[in-house]
Amino acid sequence: MEVTLDTSPASETGGGVWRSPTGKPLCVESGAKLEPLEIAYKTYGRLNETKSNAVLVCHALTGDQHAGSINPITGRPGWWDRVIGPGRPLDPDRYFVICTNVIGGCMGSTGPATINPKTGQPYGLSFPVITIADMVRAQAMLIEALGIETLLAVVGGSMGGMQVLQWAADYPEKLFSAVCIAAAPRHSAQNIAFHEVGRQAIMADPDWRGGAYEAAVARPEKGLAVARMAAHITYLSANALQRKFGRELQRDGLSWGFDADFQVESYLRHQGASFVDRFDANSYLYITRAVDYFDLAARHGGALAEAFRKARGVRFCVLSFSSDWLYPTAESRDIVRALNAAGCRASFAEIETDKGHDAFFLDEPQLDAALRGFFASTAQARGL
């Protein structure tokens, strides 16, 4: 299927929804086929004549394709607009930035809420279980449709960083460089446990209806809100929570009940309530399961270095945060050691911050400087 590229000024955005051609389904690891496949994406800037300035940005667990532009659901700026924009590390006057909504998502890409062409009803739990590799395989289909043979860079944080690693393992010939931020080569038992708490909260909500809540015109909002609250705690650090909230009360005096007495309680409730307005419960189940299944070394006999053996021509940058306990620096060091063992070129930096895992979303000058420097040197090395 031909894709029409945006021809607007470099600072403006393009994109849309790409639909796979008939007869070219996405074959997922669980054995199912998704046809047709739809991928919602946004672009920033313009692809140059040699198609050598494309950068793929991969979003985190509950992100979407609106990385550098206003989100139409929330009305808020893009989740990475401090990185994507004029004068920023990913300047659309220099780079053609692409961001897709992952399959399994709920912002336009094929997922549980999509209508199953065989039944005329939303997939719901009949949607196949997917993996990070499936997400990347779908992205690769879009990149091919855009006529891009080699990406200047693929970059992402958290689950986005996992996609970066999967790209390097599965499509090294399509990459010039890769930037992995606050991620890990496999999901830990602790992180799987947190995800399971969230999934059980959703499935325990009576309005989940066995995943068929759309047909019942219901939404498991309470369960999804609790799932978000539990997960959000892992995105911060103990120091950040103490600095922001401490034991400050929401109002004068205690309620002597179970209202939100403490500011931190009110904050988490707000996070949960706002989340249900923009995210789908079944998508949360599927995407968290994909992250739980992620283990890059598993298909290489447990040797992580073997996953990167064919990526020796790729320039890597690995970044971590000192206060990140979701994906601690030790796991980033494991990635770097594996890259070194595979003979890959890799730079690494641990950024000192008390902002926890979510630091890559926040105002963090050291991160901005690292990204700006790496992208600039990469562009220079490719003759841009």
> Is residue 91 annotated as a catalytic residue, yes or no?
no
**Cα(154)–Cα(167) distance, integer angstroms:** 8
CA 293 – CA 39 distance, rounded (Å): 22
* Percent of the chain's residues with pLDDT above 90: 93
pLDDT digits (tens, 9 = 90+) for 122-160: 999 999 999 999 999 999 999 999 999 999 999 999 999
> Could you give the domains of the chain?
13-186+294-381 (3.40.50.1820), 190-290 (1.10.1740.110)
Average pLDDT, stretch 184-212? 97
Query: Residue 2: which pLDDT band, with cuts at 50, 70 and 90?
Result: very low
Give the residue from 366, 377, 360, 369 showing the smallest Cα distance to 315.
Answer: 377
pLDDT at residue 13 greater than cutoff 90: no
User: What tens digit of pLDDT does each residue of 103-128 get?
Assistant: 999 999 999 999 999 999 999 999 99
CA distance 105 to 33: 17
The CA distance from 221 to 205, in Å, is: 8
pLDDT at 10 over 60: no
Mean pLDDT of 199-210: 97
pLDDT in tens, 294-338: 999 999 999 999 999 999 999 999 999 999 999 999 999 999 999
pLDDT tier, 9 (very low <50, low <70, confident <90, very high otherwise): very low
CA distance linking residue 122 with residue 134, whole number of Å: 20
Which of 109, 292, 357, 358 is catalytic? The answer is 357
Q: What does the pLDDT look like over 177-192, one tens digit per residue?
A: 999 999 999 999 999 9
Residue 73: what pLDDT? 86
**Active-site residue flag, 187:** no
Tens digits of per-residue pLDDT, 53-82? 999 999 999 999 999 999 998 899 999 999
Sequence-distant (6+) residues with CB within 8 A of 284 are: 62, 198, 199, 202, 224, 227
Looking at every residue in the chain, the average pLDDT score rounds to 94
Catalytic residue among 64, 134, 292, 324: 324
- Helix then strand count (H, E) for the chain reads 10, 10
What is the reported pLDDT for 12? 60
Residue 194 has pLDDT above 60, yes or no: yes
Q: Which of 20, 109, 158, 237 is catalytic?
A: 158
Predicted confidence at residue 134, as pLDDT, reads 98
Q: What is the pLDDT of residues 250-266, one digit of tens each?
A: 999 999 999 999 999 99
pTM for the model? 0.95
Give the C-alpha separation, 103 to 374, whole Å: 29
- Is residue 207 part of the annotated active site? The answer reads no
pLDDT at 4: 44
Long-range pairs for 370-374: beta carbons < 8 A, 24 or more residues apart: 370/317, 370/319, 371/83, 371/89, 371/90, 371/155, 371/179, 372/88, 372/89, 374/177, 374/179, 374/317, 374/347
If pLDDT is split at 50, 70 and 90, which confidence band does 6 have?
very low
Closest CA to 134 of 155, 104, 168: 104
- The answer to whether the beta carbons of residues 329 and 350 sit under 8 Å apart is yes
